[in-house]
Amino acid sequence: MLKKSDFEKLPDLEVKFDEALAKYTYTKVGGPADFLAFPYSIQELTDLTNLAKETNTPITVLGNASNLIVRDGGIRGLVILLEKMNQVKIAGYTIEAQAGATLKEVTQIAQQNALTGFEFACGIPGSIGGAVFMNAGAYNGEISQVLASCKAIDLEGNLTTLSNTQMNWGYRHSAIRDQNLIVLSAKFELQAGDPQQIQNEMNRLNALRADKQPLEYPSCGSVFKRPAGHFAGRLIQEAGCQGLRIGGIEVSKKHAGFMVNVANGTATDYEQLIAQVIERVYEHSGILLEPEVRIIGESLL
């Protein structure tokens, strides 16, 4: 396992020890990471993976820590946050964005360069890496519809490039998850558009999101995958779960598909509430909800 002294080999790297992940997650929950690193470049990231390999240390990579719950016991080993790897480049109708760039930022750059096709992602609170990992989507758009290719490395530090057709896309699923890869950057193929029309569409989608979603509270985003032929939020409502609360976590009164941290809740509160909602919805409708949110780390129970 890594020791503090091992990081003397990487003197320019920003790293924190025994750092509470609740400071970085959208849910505002999560215990400590043994080592939390913030690489600026592919070289720093590769150096990190090599160091972890040499010391037999597990690696956990977080994008923007949005559609994610980190358990209260935290994460052992090395946690890597890619938020500082955030460069974005334009070449014709193609945008190439590093994994740590936010979807909000990339959609704004697309609009400024009169490129259309990425508007659906303007309000998704995630990073490029996380979005590719889970094929993020909203309002009838998905990453799979615009991605041309993706650069990634494996935990051995080997570089690979995957085309769209190699990504094994599914609902909130990609080959990145299958192969346990770390996204470095992604290229998106867009089309020429009118900047004002693009901005108008982004404004419309952001207004819809603000009207329907509980953006005023910390949350993990949409908690459950959409069951075929149904909407998770409606099923939760019909099962009488809207407003249900465990500890500081509540099924949102604004949108039942969300769970919000209203009073210093914990990851354990989240997990218990998720389990209770699944049980009640199944009892009411016979439909078994499947979590969309990733739950990682160690429990204190």
Residue 73 zone, left/alpha/beta (φ > 0; ψ -120 to 50; rest): alpha
Indicate if 156 belongs to the active site: no
Catalytic residue among 19, 83, 96, 292: 292
* Pairing of the two strands 68-70 and 75-81: unpaired
- Choosing from 119, 172, 174, 219, which is the catalytic residue? 172
Which two tokens mark 235?
């099923």
Q: Which of 44, 222, 250, 271 is catalytic?
A: 222
Question: How many of the other CB atoms lie within 10 Å of CB of 17?
Answer: 12
222 noted as active-site residue? yes
172: tokens are 């909130």
User: Is residue 292 flagged as an active site residue?
Assistant: yes
Question: In angstroms, rounded to a whole number, what is the distance separating the alpha carbons of residues 34 and 79?
Answer: 8
| Whole-number Å distance between alpha carbons of 68 and 91 | 32
Q: How far apart are CA 241 and CA 175, in angstroms?
A: 34
| Active-site amino acid positions | 172, 222, 292
